[in-house]
Structure 1
Amino acid sequence: MSTTLQTEQRLWQELAARGAVQGECPEHSHAPWAVRCLMGAAGWLGALFFQMFLVGTVFVAARENGVAMAVTGLAMIALAALLYWRGGGIAASQFALAVSLCGQGMAVYGWVEALGFTRVTETAGFWAGIAVFEAALALLVTNRLHRLLSGLGVWIGVAGAVHLALPHGSADDWQALAWSLGWLAPLGCALATGFTLAEARVCAAGRHALLEPLADATLLAALAMALVVTGMSHPMAWLFDPEAGRLSMAHWIAGALLTLVLAGFALTECRRLAAGSAMQAAVLAGTLAFGALMAAAPAVVAGALALALALRRASMAWMGLGVAAIAIGFVWYYSALHWTLLAKSVTLAAAGVLLLAGRYWLLHGRTGKEFA
């Protein structure tokens, strides 16, 4: 008997002892991972042939008719929603996912083609419309993976809208992404933190199935944006282009805001655990010091926050995202050519010493013994 089945039976026996359930534990067969992979591949393969026929037919018949393409895309999304609603196995759900993604692409392409490609895509309103469109799909289509991808689509639309709406005055427009995403990364981390703190109330209200995949997408998008800011920000840009002065502050602003979010979560956890005032002050001071040392690498601060949220939620997926963000953030920060080797070495070494000192104090200090 597998460990999973043993755990299920043990939990069922505990619930039966409390009177919450009756009868025998229902049988639940878990398909091997190889079978699940093959079924998923079969679903994508079937969707590929279906879409090659459908998309090819539509493009040949209406390649210059954007409205027809958009309508076809919406019809494909409706078909995917119907397949999700009827239920089915892994192959059916993957088939529906592939059809929905292709339908979204056709709907957006047809919309752009009908309104004029260059004129539309360079406006903030277009990207805001993408965000609204993906948000509507997240509400209407109940599949968890589909909601996760729709949540990522919402953040892509929001990032495009913010990037075009904020004035940056940079000749290299792609470099201004660090300025735009430097505001969105802390916002995403703050939303993920708010979900973590309110998760119990969300479950009680029956909205966990809706909000959890959106929270996953929010954290993933926030970590990705923090990594972009860490790698693209150039602290000496103002020397070469006076108009790029605020762009060179993107990583400092993002790092400072992420530090505030991390410190707020740490303080909230201390109060939830009924820690004393001395402990709260020490944790807050250590968190602010760590954030100040790593402010030039916002991805590291965001990864530390993701780790803290993962421990709070007991989520292995969030823990993996946090570890990956910290590792990639460290490598990207240390390999950046626009920082001196001395500055990078000092900040990384100081942050490591600070964390080791904090661990030693928590384990061997008087206050640490109270929580042992």
Structure 2
Amino acid sequence: MSGSTVTLNHIVNNLRAENLLSIEDDALDYLENRPNPQPWYIRTMVGFGAWLASLLLIGFITSITLMVDGGYIFIGAALIVCAILVRQRSDRDFLVQCALASSLAGQALVAYGFADIAGHGKFEIILGFALVISSALFFLFPDRIHRVIMVLLATGSLTTLLYHWEANALIPLLGPALTGILILLHNRMPTLVAGRHSELLHPLMSGLMLSAFGTLLLSTVYLLPELEADFLFYPRPWISTILLGMLLIYLGRLIWPVVAGTEDTKSLLLLHGIMIVIITCAWYAPGLLLGLIVMLLGAHSSRVTFTGAGIGFFVLFLTAFFYGIEVSLLTKSITLVATGITLLLSRWIILKVILTDERQGAGYA
């Protein structure tokens, strides 16, 4: 028998040592009762079938209520309640996807029903209802994907309402506000994970991150020359740059000693100097700072999804920004080359200067 062979008795003893299997339980019964996850392609087909079946059924029921006053509200509310009850009692893929589709369709029906009864201001009523119902269903519907969608729906409704009320001057504050909440949740993660509502934390953080991405992408719209100049989608983007820059420096003070492995004052000052240079270069491109913030959060918490999302958004925002900016192709090329050189130089300073000084100091000690 080779040294790498693991027997069933060894596995059972480890399970009992971790209190996952009691002494009275039989190992074979435990293994037979373990869930057997289906392959991803089977789950994908099951989810597609569940969505198709749900939407067809919802369309059939909705057509019956076309001639009934308040029918949309009634059938929509019934779909939402049934979806919540089904999701709370089952984790099967088909029922999970059916409940998700039913909940989203029910929200759309109820919102349209309220707007239809009001007869005026339909757009504002739909957005207001979406903001309220999504906030409530974030807590009531026990599904991670649904909760992320509810956060996106709430922030999207709030952003659209600001445009509808012609308060677009507040848009540059929205992205930094969402990012600030994200950083606050990250700092309090150990306490929140140990709390009663720990299952809400990760969907909320993911929804806030995606919402901040969407909001900051609006800052590239004002660059497009095809649009009219009378209406600014994202006025004064430098406001977002200043606020996100402050968050970046604050976050750097907290996690640079952990990520870079250094507490030397000279090294930390150099790191903060690099951040100030980056903030200055991103004066009209605040989304670049958001990508760096998300990457730092992912590196600090060892969450690969956040790190990958930060890198992906950094590239996406940079592409959208340079596509929309109204300068010559030569200027764009020079700017891209300068950006790459700045990033490579910053990386070289961090690896060769800061970390090398730290290792030498540790070896000397």
Structure-1-length-normalised TM-score:
0.81
How far does residue 279 in structure 1 lie from its aligned partner after superposition?
2.5
Aligned length: 342
Shift of 1:120: 4.0
Tell me how far apart the structure 2 counterparts of residues 293 and 11 of structure 1 sit (CA, whole Å): 56
Alignment match of 1:289 (pick from 277, 282, 292): 277
Could you report, residue by residue, the CA deviation over 1:51-86 in whole angstroms, capped at 9, with x for unpaired residues?
121111112x32xx3x33112211110010011011
> Structure 2 vs 1, CA of residues 156 and 271 (structure 1 numbering), >3 Å: closer, same or farther?
same
Q: Given the superposition, is the C-alpha separation of residues 11 and 201 from structure 1 closer, same or farther in structure 2, using an over 3 Å criterion?
A: farther
Deviates more, 1:331-340 or 1:188-197: 331-340
Cα separation, partners in 2 of 1:217 and 1:13, compared to 1, 3 Å: farther
Structure 1 residue corresponding to 2:241, chosen from 255, 263, 279: 255
Match of 1:77 among 68, 77, 80: 80
Matches within 5 A, 1:349-364: 349-364=337-352
Cα root mean square deviation, aligned: 3.1
Structure 2: 5+ residue runs without aligned partners? 1-5, 361-365
Equivalence for 2:363 = none
1:101 aligns with 2:108: no
Residue 116 of structure 1: which of 101, 114, 119 is its match? 119
Deviation of 1:251 (Å)? 2.1
> Relative to 1, partners in 2 of residues 1:315 and 1:15: Cα closer, same or farther, differing over 3 Å?
farther
Q: Which residue of 1 aligns with 2:140?
A: 140
What CA distance in whole angstroms lies between the structure 2 residues aligned with 1:33 and 1:328?
Answer: 28
Selected match of 1:29 from 11, 32, 36: 36
Per the alignment, do residues 38 and 271 of structure 1 end up closer, same or farther by CA in structure 2, a change over 3 Å counting?
same
In structure 2, the CA distance between the partners of 1:317 and 1:228, relative to structure 1 (3 Å rule), is same
Runs (5+) with no aligned partner, structure 1: 1-5, 169-178
- Answer yes or no: is 1:52 the counterpart of 2:52: no
Percent sequence identity over matched residues?
21
The alpha-carbon distance between structure 1 residues 338 and 10, as it changes in their structure 2 partners (threshold 3 A), is farther
Please list, as runs of the form range in 1=range in 2, the aligned pairs for 1:170-181 lying within 5 A after superposition: 179-181=169-171
TM-score (norm 2): 0.82
Match for 2:155: what amino acid? Answer: W
Change beyond 3 A, Cα 1:165–1:290: same
Counterpart of 1:267?
A: 253
User: Would you say 1:203 and 2:193 are equivalent positions?
Assistant: yes
Match of 2:236, SS?
helix
1:278 and 2:266 are equivalent in the alignment: yes
CA distance in structure 1 between the partners assigned to 2:223 and 2:188 by the alignment: 34
Q: Look up the match of 2:202.
A: 212
CA displacement, residues 269-323 of structure 1 (integer Å, 9 cap, x when unaligned): 1356672322322222211211210222222221222222222232233233222
1:294–1:347 Cα contact (<8 Å) kept: no
On the 8 A contact 2:224/2:325 being kept in 1, the answer is: no
Contact 1:294–1:351 (CA under 8 A) maintained in structure 2:
no
Pick closer, same or farther for the CA change 1:98–1:21 going to 2, 3 Å.
closer
Measured against aligned partners, the alpha-carbon deviations of 1:221-262 in whole angstroms (never above 9, x if no partner) come to: 111111121233479x9xx97x77x87743222222222222
